[in-house]
Structure 1
Amino acid sequence: MVCEQLYYPISSPGGSVEDVNRYCPGGYHPVYLGAVFNSRYVVLHKLGFGTFSTVWLARDHFTNRLVALKIGRAVYGSFMKAEGIQRLLGSGWLEQFEFRGPNGAHVCVVIEVMGPTLEVVMNMVKTLDPNGGMPDYMRMRMAISLARAVARMHLHGVVHGDIHGNNIVFHIPGMKNWTDHQVYEYFGVPRFSSPVRRLDGSQVVPRAPQSLVYAAATPLKILPLCFEHVDLRFIDFGGSFYCHRGYCVQKRLNTMLENAAPEVHLLDFVSSAVDIWAMACVFFRLFAGHSLFASNINELWTMADILASQNNPPNRWSRVLGYYYTRMEKSWKSFPPWFRQKPSLISRLLSVPRYSSWEWLVLMLTMLDLDPSARLDAESVVGRIPWIIADAVNGRRYVEEALYGCRCSLCTHRGKVSTAPELCVASGYSTAASGLRSAIISS
Structure 2
Amino acid sequence: MTNNTTHRAGKLYFPNIEVENLEEYNIGGYNPTVIGDVFHKGRYHIIHKLGYGSSSTVWLARDRHLQRYVSLKILMARQVSTSKESEILRLLSGNSKPTHPGQRFNPRLLDDFTIDGPNGRHRCLVQDLAACSIAVAKEWSSNTMFLVETARSIAAQLILGLSYLHSQGVYHGDLQMHNFFLYGLNIDHLTPDELYTRYAFDTAPVRRLDGASPEPHAPPYAVWSMPIETPADKLADPIIKISDYGTSFVAADTPNPELCTPTLYRPPEALFGDRIVPFAADVWPLGVSLYEVLGERPLFETFTCDKDDVLADIISTLGLPPRRWWDSWANRASSSRKMGSGGRADQPDLFASLAAAEPADVGNGAGKTPESCEWDVEGGEVRALEELFRGCWRGSRRRGGRWRAGGVE
Give the aligned partner of residue 42 of structure 1: 45
Amino acid at match of 1:364: L
**Pair 78,93 (structure 1): closer, same or farther in 2 beyond 3 Å:** same
**Aligned counterpart for 2:71 among listed residues 68, 71, 93:** 68
Distance 2:63 2:163 in 1: 32
**Residue in 1 that maps onto 2:281:** 274
Pair 222,283 (structure 1): closer, same or farther in 2 beyond 3 Å: closer
Residue equivalent to 2:331: 327
Deviation of the 1:203 alpha carbon: 2.6
Paired letter, 1:271: P
Q: Whose helix proportion is higher, 1 or 2?
A: 1
Aligned to 2:238: 230
Q: Tell me the alpha carbon deviations over residues 12-38 of structure 1, each in whole angstroms, 9 at most, x when there is no partner.
A: 5xxx21122211111111111111111
Equivalent position to 1:88, from 91, 95, 114? 91
The answer as to whether partners of 1:113 and 1:176 remain within 8 angstroms in 2 is no
Give 1:243's aligned amino acid: A
**Could you tell me the percent identity over the aligned residues?**
27
Which deviations, in whole Å up to 9, do the C-alpha atoms of 1:63-96 show, x marking residues without a partner? 1111111111110057631232122212221111
Q: Distance in 1 between matches of 2:44 and 2:232?
A: 24
Contact between 1:79 and 1:238, CA under 8 Å: does it hold in 2? Answer: no
2:150 is matched with 138
* Deviation, structure 1 residue 313: 4.0
Q: Does 1:255 align with 2:261?
A: yes
Runs (5+) with no aligned partner, structure 1? 376-443
Residue pair 1:74, 1:106 contacting (<8 A) in 2 also: yes
Q: Secondary structure at the match of 1:45?
A: strand
Residues 184-203 of structure 1: matches in 2 within 5 Å? 184-188=196-200, 190-193=201-204, 195-203=205-213
Q: Gaps spanning 5+ residues in structure 2: where? A: 1-8, 94-106, 363-369, 397-409
Residues of 2 paired with 1:276 and 1:110: CA distance? 28
1:6 aligns with 2:9: no
- Summarize the Cα distance change of 1:222–1:370 in structure 2 as closer, same or farther, 3 Å threshold: closer
What TM-score results when the alignment is normalised by the length of structure 2?
A: 0.77
Amino acid at match of 1:305: D
What secondary structure sits across from 1:21 in the alignment?
Answer: helix
Q: Does 1:350 align with 2:371?
A: no
Q: 1:279 to 1:93 in 2, by over 3 A?
A: same
Letter in 1 for 2:315: L
Q: CA RMSD in A?
A: 3.2
- When residues 78 and 166 of structure 1 are mapped into structure 2, their CA distance, relative to the original with a 3 A threshold, is farther
Cα displacement (A) at 1:171: 1.1
Mark the CA change 1:363 to 1:216 in structure 2 (over 3 Å): closer, same or farther.
same
Task: Describe the shift of the 1:336–1:266 C-alpha distance in structure 2 as closer, same or farther (beyond 3 A).
Answer: closer
Deviation digits for residues 24-69 of structure 1, max 9, x if unmatched?
1111111111111112111000111111111110101111111111
**Residue 104 of structure 2: aligned partner:** none
Q: Does 1:172 find its partner at 2:178?
A: no
- Which deviates further from its counterpart, 176-185 or 116-125? 176-185
In structure 2, the residue matched to 1:103 is 119
Number of residue equivalences: 354
Give the superposition deviation at 1:309: 2.6
CA distance in 1, matches of 2:242, 2:294: 20
Deviates more, 1:294-303 or 1:60-69: 294-303
Question: Residues of 2 paired with 1:242 and 1:373: CA distance?
Answer: 27
How far apart in 2 are the matches of 1:72 and 1:333? 44
- C-alpha distance in structure 2 between counterparts of 1:327 and 1:348, whole Å: 30
For residue 303 of structure 1, report the CA deviation from its aligned partner: 1.4
The amino acid across from 1:145 in the alignment is Q
SS, match of residue 56 in structure 1: strand
What letter is aligned with 1:241?
Answer: F
CA deviations over 1:170-200 (Å, ceiling 9, x no partner) = 1116455654355335423x2111x322222
